[in-house]
C-alpha cells in the first residue's frame, strides 16, 4: 500500500530568497499519527502547506495517497482534511451556517450534528462565529476539517488556545480517528502533546529535520540526569572519577547514558563515605530536554543567514 504521505528532498524558498524548508524527507504510513515539532519559525507551517498542496515546492516531491497534492489537487482534496492555523471563515455566520456552507463544498459530508458533536460544540449551532471563544473556534475549525471523513487529516497547531480539558478532548478525538484508520499529521508546540499522541515525530530547526523517530527513540538518544547537593565540606572532586560532573555552587549534575549503573555507584559511594546527598533527583531524558538540547546545538552549528535572507524574514 502506498504511504499516506511521502516527501522527498522537499524545499520551499520564499520570494526574497529565504529558504524556509531546506530539503525535508519523511514518510507517514497509513493509520499513523505523525507530529512535526520545532522552534518558532522552524518551517513547520511552510512544510505542512506543501504537504496539503496549498503551495508548490521549489524543489523535491510530495505524494499524498500516491498523488501530487498540488498538481493533482482534484484527486487528493476530497480525501484529505485540513485545519489551518487561521480558519478564516466569515465571522458573522452562525456555527450551523458555517458548517452548512462548508458541507456544500465537501463531497460525502457527514451530518453537521455529528461533526459538531465530535468536537463538543453541540448546542452552539446558533452562535455567531465572532462570539465563539478562541478555543471554540479551534474546535469549529476541527469539525470542518472532519466533515468529509478524510483519510488523511492535517492539523496545524490544533490545540493552541484550548484549555487543558479542550486539549484532552482533542487528543481523545485524534486517538479515536487513528483507531478508525485515519492518518494524522499535526504540528504542535506542546511536547507533551507529541509525546502522548504521536506514533512518530520529527523535530525541525531552520528548515531541516534534525531528529526523528518514535517518542521513545528520540528521548533515548538523550542522556539521563542525576542531580543532588553535597554537604559544604565535601567538594565534588571527591566523587568517584566516572561520576565527576558539573558542580554549580554545591549543586551537582551528572548526565549519563548509564543511569542505573551510575546511580548505583553514587549511592554506594554515599553509603561508604557517610555522605548525605541533598535533594537527590534522578530522571530519564524527556522529550522536552531532547527538544531544548537539539535546538541549542543546532543553533551553535547552524550557518548564519545571509543579509538577503534576514531581510526576507523581516
Residue 120 binds to ligand ATP (criterion: CB under 6 A): no
Sheet holding 224-229, edge to edge: 246-248, 251-256, 224-229, 278-283
| Distance of closest approach, residue 28 Cβ to ligand ATP, in angstroms | 18
| Distance of closest approach, residue 38 Cβ to ligand ATP, in angstroms | 5
Residue 43 binds to ligand ATP (criterion: CB under 6 A): yes
| Of residues 118 and 187, the one with the C-beta less far from ligand ATP | 187
Of positions 1, 40, 86, 274, contacts ligand ATP by CB under 6 A: 40
Residue 46 binds to ligand ATP (criterion: CB under 6 A): yes
| Distance of closest approach, residue 24 Cβ to ligand ATP, in angstroms | 11
Considering only CA atoms, give the Rg of the chain: 24
Q: Which residues pair with 205 in a beta bridge?
A: 208
Residue 269 binds to ligand ATP (criterion: CB under 6 A): no
Residue entry with cell 571527591: 238
Question: Where in 118-241 does DSSP place strands (E)?
Answer: 152-156, 183-187, 200-205, 208-213, 224-229
| Of residues 38 and 53, the one with the C-beta less far from ligand ATP | 38
Contacts 24+ apart (CB under 8 A), 104-113: 106/78, 106/147, 106/148, 107/78, 107/148, 108/78, 108/148, 108/149, 109/147, 109/148, 110/146, 110/147, 110/148, 110/149
| Of residues 43 and 150, the one with the C-beta less far from ligand ATP | 43
Question: In this chain, which stretch among 3-11, 43-51, 251-259, 284-292 interacts with ligand ATP, using CB under 6 A?
Answer: 43-51
Residue 53 binds to ligand ATP (criterion: CB under 6 A): no
Residue 313 binds to ligand ATP (criterion: CB under 6 A): yes
| Of residues 12 and 139, the one with the C-beta less far from ligand ATP | 12
DSSP state, residue 189: S
Residue 7 binds to ligand ATP (criterion: CB under 6 A): no
DSSP state, residue 128: B
Residues 6 or more apart in contact with residue 182 via CB below 8 angstroms? 31, 150, 151, 152, 153
Residue 44 binds to ligand ATP (criterion: CB under 6 A): yes
User: Of 20-39, which residues contact ligand ATP (CB under 6 A)?
Assistant: 20, 38
Of positions 6, 13, 26, 45, contacts ligand ATP by CB under 6 A: 45
Of positions 3, 8, 14, 73, contacts ligand ATP by CB under 6 A: 14
Q: Identify which of 167, 221, 223 has the alpha carbon closest to the alpha carbon of residue 196.
A: 167
Binding site for ligand ATP (CB under 6 A): 14, 16, 18, 20, 38, 40-46, 312-313
Amino acid at each position: 500500500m502506498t504511504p499516506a504521505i511521502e516527501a522527498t528532498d522537499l524545499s520551499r524558498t520564499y520570494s526574497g530568497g529565504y529558504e524556509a524548508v531546506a530539503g525535508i524527507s519523511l514518510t507517514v504510513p497509513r493509520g499513523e499519527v505523525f507530529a512535526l515539532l520545532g522552534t518558532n519559525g522552524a518551517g513547520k507551517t511552510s512544510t505542512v502547506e506543501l504537504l496539503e498542496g496549498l503551495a508548490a515546492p521549489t524543489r523535491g516531491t510530495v505524494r499524498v495517497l500516491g498523488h501530487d497534492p498540488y498538481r493533482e489537487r482534484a484527486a487528493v482534496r476530497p480525501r484529505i482534511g485540513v485545519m489551518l492555523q487561521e480558519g478564516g471563515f466569515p465571522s458573522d455566520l452562525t456555527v450551523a451556517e458555517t458548517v452548512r456552507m462548508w458541507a456544500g463544498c465537501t463531497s460525502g459530508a457527514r451530518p453537521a450534528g455529528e461533526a459538531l458533536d465530535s468536537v463538543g460544540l453541540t448546542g452552539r449551532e446558533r452562535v455567531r462565529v465572532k462570539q465563539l471563544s478562541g478555543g471554540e473556534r479551534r474546535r469549529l475549525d476541527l469539525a470542518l476539517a472532519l466533515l468529509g471523513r478524510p483519510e488523511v487529516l492535517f492539523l496545524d497547531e490544533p490545540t493552541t488556545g484550548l484549555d487543558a480539558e479542550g486539549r484532552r478532548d482533542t487528543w481523545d478525538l485524534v486517538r479515536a480517528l487513528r483507531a478508525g484508520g485515519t492518518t494524522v499529521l499535526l504540528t504542535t508546540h506542546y511536547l507533551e502533546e507529541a509525546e502522548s499522541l504521536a506514533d512518530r515525530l520529527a523535530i525541525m530547526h531552520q528548515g531541516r529535520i534534525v531528529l526523528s523517530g518514535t517518542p521513545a527513540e528520540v528521548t533515548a538518544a538523550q542522556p539521563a540526569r542525576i542531580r543532588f547537593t553535597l554537604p559544604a565540606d565535601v567538594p565534588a572532586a571527591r566523587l568517584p572519577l566516572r561520576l565527576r560532573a558539573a558542580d554549580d555552587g554545591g549543586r551537582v549534575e551528572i548526565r549519563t547514558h548509564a543511569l542505573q549503573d551510575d546511580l548505583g555507584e553514587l549511592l554506594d559511594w554515599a553509603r561508604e563515605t557517610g555522605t548525605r546527598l541533598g535533594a537527590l533527583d534522578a530522571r530519564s531524558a524527556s522529550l522536552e530536554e531532547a527538544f531544548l538540547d537539539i535546538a541549542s546545538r543546532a543553533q551553535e552549528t547552524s550557518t548564519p543567514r545571509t543579509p538577503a535572507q534576514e531581510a526576507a524574514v523581516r
